[in-house]
Amino acid sequence: MAASEANTVAAAATGTSNLPAARVRRIIKEDKDIFACGSESLFLISRATEYFIDSLVRESYEFSRLDKRKTVQYKDMAKAVQSIEQYDFLSDIIPPTVSVRKPATTETQ
């Protein structure tokens, strides 16, 4: 079992989250439709967020492995968002990479 998996299992077993509760609560308070958030709800939102991040990173890592790399890059995350329907809602936030080409120069005489 990898170290990150061990931390995740340990966090789930002890009822803790790796995300800072104060920051998660502040993000939740930004939504004007939510008036209050109990500690149990805060914990569940934190854990769900951790699982979501883990899932996205694992899928992105698979794309980096296809390119024979061990490091996840932006283009791997963009490929995951494009390829997996579950992440369609992220297409505006993580758009595909666009290669920049040097414009063809025309010589004026």
Give the separation between CA 33 and CA 37, rounded to whole angstroms: 11
Superfamily of domain 16-90 in the CATH hierarchy = Histone, subunit A (1.10.20.10)
Site of tokens 């709800």? 41
What's the whole-number average pLDDT of the chain? 86
Give the separation between CA 97 and CA 82, rounded to whole angstroms: 11
Percent of the chain whose predicted confidence (pLDDT) is above 90: 67
Residue 100's pLDDT band (cuts 50, 70, 90):
confident
pTM: 0.71
**Residue type at position 99:** S
Give the separation between CA 9 and CA 96, rounded to whole angstroms: 33
